[in-house]
Structure 1
Amino acid sequence: MGEFLNFAELNDALAATSKKLEKRSLMSTYLRGLAVEDAALAALYLSGSAFAETDRRGLNAGGSLLSKALAQRSGASQAAMSAAYRRHGDMGAAAQDLLEANGRTGPIPEAGGGLTLPIVEEIFARIAAARGPGAKLPLVVGLLEAARPVEAKYLLKLMLGDMRTGVKQSLVEEAVAAAFETDAATVRRASMLIGNLPEVVRLAAEHRLDEARMKLFHPLGFMLASPVDSVEEAVERFTEEVLLEELAPEAAAGEEAAPGEIPAKRAGLPPPSTRIYGVLEDKYDGIRAQLHCGDASEPGRVELFSRSRDDLSASFPELVEAFAAIPEKAILDGEILAWSPVSAGGTQGRALPFSVLQQRIGRKRVTAEMREQTPVIFMAFDAMFLGDSLVLEEPLHERRLRLERFVARNASLTANAEARGQVELFAETAPQFARLMLAPAVALESAEQLDAAYTEARARGNEGVMLKSLNSKYQPGRRGLAWLKLKRELATLDVVVTGAEFGHGRRAGVLSDYTFAVRDGDALKNVGKAYSGLTDAEIDELTSYFKEHTLEDYGHFRTVQPLKVLEVAFNNVMRSERHESGFALRFPRILRIRDDKPVEEIDTLARVEEIYESQPDKGS
């Protein structure tokens, strides 16, 4: 039987090496020595998940609850717990320290014998079923009482979903393949199809991986785009590093195409007059989402997943209602957008700023008023699964044609969906328009057109433009040059740091997150917080500086003397009640430390408001 102690010690060994092949060898040897059911659990836990993707249970045991459980088990003071966390930036590693320091080195007698993987599985199931922190706390405490310090370390890491061993699911899948002497690509494909790693292990052990069939309602990985800062960089990287390489085999096969040119008939676009670089789409300012619908075995079931694989369905019930009417199986990639069905001065709808959509994120209950004030649509730009077929391996131009036909057949079905069980409530207030839309795409023929397209996209309220190769396959979880995104920073501001916060993980011991402000007369008003853009050396230097210039120390956060000036870039300015200034910068990034600039010369709140007013996509 799989002892949890062996699992914990394996994870210590995994964390101790940075060599991928060594990690894979350690895991495959360990899995090979277990019974199949234990190996199935171990593979799941090695990937950092308490439950399989298709298993909708969740532990719902956050940091506060786990801290209370650890305090009870270890007997440590709050000060000792804070110091241990500060040392490691990780509750699991802190727990091992605290338990060893306080002599809690073994299970208490009442907790019974040693933990095994099936025992952990059983207790996780009980924690998931328990309602509320009061019911969960004794279960977590009991689990820690049955654990040795190193076991407690990885129990807490697993419950938090953050193992920090340098192991991703893809590497676990490779280890499964090595353990059961099969092909890694086959394991990975089966895992993608069924979304259940324990079941994949069982199939691999029985050499039945070819029986894996696609199941909806578990998120696949999203294909990602590489950022570029200029038209010139986009054209150079795209033409030289992607298209020429991709088109060479087809040219050799006899298809008529000039070097560097994509045959227009395959693009589903009008014949170009000049060289085609690729296809252009707007870069929307919404929530990237994956939509699953149309499974006849579960009529009406619709689910939406974010890039982080969170279930978004509860926040957007009108999309669930709308897509429940679609009878065809589909997994679509696209963007959830706040949408104005009729734009000012015309009938053409348009996307609203992200700041409008933000009000809907994370809502467990969406009111009729929210639905009316912030209507949403799903802007589809790619297809991953249609009918009964995965289409990931098909080139984009083929996927695009399939998607166009799917939208043509089904968009109208999403226009008149009624709220289930609440027809009268929403009959008058719910806007009636198609909730499924197809992202416009045009052939890119020149660098000048790309520059103009960017300007036009910004004027429509979108973030920028996407440039995609029409030959590109859909590669879940991959970021390559086949998709590029052109987003220019809106502006930069010189700001002063007013607060500093300790980071997490490897930055747990340094002040790496900085709250910053602009001038408003004689006062300073905060407008954002940034934690990216500086080197480790610069962060170390600022940590020493801010410790010497602390005004109030709250433990994890401290207010500091407003003396250090930074130059920050950002994507846009939003109205926000979070800060006294009334504004917040979206995606701020530190460009440099401005030791050459006195605080008296930093930017003003008036400048922030001026930038806000200049945005074509400003919110209300």
Structure 2
Amino acid sequence: MASTALATAAAVSPMLAKAVDAVPEPDRIDGGLSYEPKWDGFRGIVSFDGTTVEIASRGAKPLTRYFPELVEAFAHLLSGPCVLDGEIVVRSGAPGGEKLDWELLSQRIHPAESRIALLAEQTPAMFVAFDLLALGDESLLDAPFGERRAALETFAAGLGDPIHVSQATTDVALARRWLVEFEGAGLDGVVAKPLAAPYAPGKRVMLKVKHHRTADVVVLGYRVHKSGQGVGSLLLGLYDADGELRNVGGASAFSDARRLELVDELAPLVLHDASGAAVTGETERSRFSSGKDVSFVRLEPTRVMEVRYDQMEGMRFRHTVQFDRWRPDRDARSCTFEQLERPIAYDLSDVLV
């Protein structure tokens, strides 16, 4: 690295956000708040010493090898040594109807160099910067966010694709409009940042608000908890337009006591083969489930539960959903994709700066 300041900033854990129910008023925090769209991608700390580019993930894992097109762009476009905090994203769709694409982004994490090179050409990534942690020989970690944001805008002015600076505003009404409109471009909420706060590695200083929705889903099966005791997660399904029951994700985060209770509650629904053994299946493996147990106990698809979710990614819930309540009044076949709220399409190019 070019300096101790750069090395220190590059090694920090990213500052995090805690969830709130609504976009907060600016006077909630001394010094006021700055609002930004919440980008749905891979968090990345980018360090550039004037020659070498390194990209670290939120968990400090190296991402550099997976995004050679970004490495090349940083080395070519950045005017000098710096450490940037931001989000790596991939977009898809025709001009005028582009949106963030999590599935294409997740495919970029691949062990084969040849595959990485091909995807870098076919589905190139972008980097959306939202903080500047060091510039030249100077660490900005102790500077208030308002100053860091101003320095970022000056430093990144005119860089152009694939490096962008996240939009920001101090207008809470505009931020609330972003929460509604930008979801149509694949973004998943709004983040509020205290203008007077220094960078706080690993601390939940920022505030985030995401969409909260409910859906009635069919319970398809369950995975045994990694401890070997009780239900670890429930597999969920919805009926499509052709009457096919599709796996749409899972619900988890049950207490120890609740995991054991669920085994008893679901026991009458467990399917058995001719020998009397419980019927099991396996969910589709992904690069993120390598080495993990993907087997599950199959259930008769008659039990309906209401869940809370934030957004869909294609035909699946984007994140693990939360159990709300059983719905004994609902017929399983009435649980279709039609009940889901779909955001109005919004062009990603209108979000990018």
- Same fold, judged at TM 0.5 (above): yes
Corresponding position: 1:292 with 2:47: yes
Give a deviation string over 1:74-131, Cα, whole Å, max 9, x none: xxxxxxxxxxxxxxxxxxxxxxxxxxxxxxxxxxxxxxxxxxxxxxxxxxxxxxxxxx
In 2, Cα distance between the equivalents of 1:406 and 1:565? 53
Aligned-partner residue type, residue 176 of structure 2: D
Matched-pair contact (CA < 8 Å) for 1:376–1:435: yes
**Deviation (angstroms), 1:224:** 0.7
Cross-structure match for 2:188:
463
Aligned-partner residue type, residue 484 of structure 1: L
Cross-structure match for 1:77:
none
**Deviation (angstroms), 1:335:** 0.8
Counterpart among 119, 126, 135 of residue 386 in structure 1: 135
3-state SS of paired residue (1:443): coil
In 1, Cα distance between the equivalents of 2:82 and 2:266? 53
Matched-pair contact (CA < 8 Å) for 1:294–1:327: no
3-state SS of paired residue (1:311): coil
**Deviation (angstroms), 1:591:** 3.3
Cross-structure match for 2:286:
none
Report the TM-score, using the length of structure 2 for normalisation: 0.80
Residues 210-225 of structure 1 aligned to structure 2 (within 5 Å): 215=7, 219-225=11-17
Counterpart among 318, 338, 345 of residue 616 in structure 1: 345
In 2, Cα distance between the equivalents of 1:436 and 1:379? 6
Structure with greater contact order relative to length (CA < 8 Å, sep ≥ 6) = 2
Corresponding position: 1:239 with 2:31: no
**Deviation (angstroms), 1:372:** 3.9
Counterpart among 281, 295, 317 of residue 68 in structure 2: 317
Cross-structure match for 1:434:
161
Matched-pair contact (CA < 8 Å) for 2:6–2:83: no
3-state SS of paired residue (2:7): coil
Aligned-partner residue type, residue 541 of structure 1: E
Counterpart among 223, 227, 236 of residue 501 in structure 1: 223
Matched-pair contact (CA < 8 Å) for 2:129–2:164: yes
**Deviation (angstroms), 1:535:** 4.2
Flag structure 1 segments of 5+ consecutive residues without an equivalent. 1-53, 55-193, 195-211, 248-276, 413-432, 576-582
3-state SS of paired residue (1:466): strand
Matched-pair contact (CA < 8 Å) for 2:185–2:347: no
Aligned-partner residue type, residue 306 of structure 2: E
Give a deviation string over 1:544-571, Cα, whole Å, max 9, x none: 2334543214796321222332212223
Give a deviation string over 1:398-450, Cα, whole Å, max 9, x none: 11122122213xx54xxxxxxxxxxxxxxxxxxxx632211121222x5x343
Corresponding position: 1:360 with 2:108: yes
**Deviation (angstroms), 1:306:** 1.3
Cross-structure match for 1:332:
84
Residues 217 and 310 (structure 1 numbering): CA distance in 2 closer, same or farther, change over 3 Å? farther
Cross-structure match for 1:376:
125
In 2, Cα distance between the equivalents of 1:282 and 1:288? 14
Corresponding position: 1:529 with 2:250: yes
3-state SS of paired residue (1:463): coil
In 2, Cα distance between the equivalents of 1:436 and 1:600? 47
Between Structure 1 and Structure 2, the one with more strand by share is 2
Counterpart among 325, 334, 342 of residue 593 in structure 1: 325
**Deviation (angstroms), 1:341:** 11
Report the TM-score, using the length of structure 1 for normalisation: 0.48
* Structure of greater Rg: 1
Cross-structure match for 1:450:
175
Aligned-partner residue type, residue 175 of structure 2: L
Matched-pair contact (CA < 8 Å) for 1:569–1:590: yes
In 1, Cα distance between the equivalents of 2:234 and 2:48? 42
**Deviation (angstroms), 1:292:** 1.1
In 2, Cα distance between the equivalents of 1:517 and 1:574? 14
Matched-pair contact (CA < 8 Å) for 1:305–1:311: yes
Aligned-partner residue type, residue 230 of structure 1: A
Sequence identity percentage: 30
Between Structure 1 and Structure 2, the one with more helix by share is 1
Matched-pair contact (CA < 8 Å) for 1:278–1:468: yes
In 1, Cα distance between the equivalents of 2:108 and 2:33? 35
Aligned-partner residue type, residue 302 of structure 1: V
Cross-structure match for 2:58:
307
Corresponding position: 1:343 with 2:95: yes
Matched-pair contact (CA < 8 Å) for 1:512–1:543: no
3-state SS of paired residue (2:61): coil
3-state SS of paired residue (1:403): helix
Corresponding position: 1:282 with 2:37: yes
Residues 595 and 557 (structure 1 numbering): CA distance in 2 closer, same or farther, change over 3 Å? same
In 2, Cα distance between the equivalents of 1:304 and 1:566? 41
**Deviation (angstroms), 1:387:** 0.9
**Deviation (angstroms), 1:463:** 1.6
3-state SS of paired residue (1:344): coil
Aligned-partner residue type, residue 27 of structure 2: T
Residues 392 and 607 (structure 1 numbering): CA distance in 2 closer, same or farther, change over 3 Å? same
Residues 384 and 217 (structure 1 numbering): CA distance in 2 closer, same or farther, change over 3 Å? closer
Counterpart among 154, 168, 180 of residue 405 in structure 1: 154
**Deviation (angstroms), 1:460:** 4.1
Give a deviation string over 1:186-240, Cα, whole Å, max 9, x none: xxxxxxxx9xxxxxxxxxxxxxxxxx77537964201011212224xx22xx524
**Deviation (angstroms), 1:618:** 10
Matched-pair contact (CA < 8 Å) for 1:574–1:618: no
Matched-pair contact (CA < 8 Å) for 1:314–1:363: no
In 2, Cα distance between the equivalents of 1:436 and 1:616? 24
Give a deviation string over 1:475-530, Cα, whole Å, max 9, x none: 000003xx2112113x32211211211223xx541212111112346653211122
State the Cα RMSD in Å: 3.2
Matched-pair contact (CA < 8 Å) for 1:378–1:435: yes
In 2, Cα distance between the equivalents of 1:511 and 1:224? 30
In 2, Cα distance between the equivalents of 1:594 and 1:517? 15
Cross-structure match for 1:517:
237
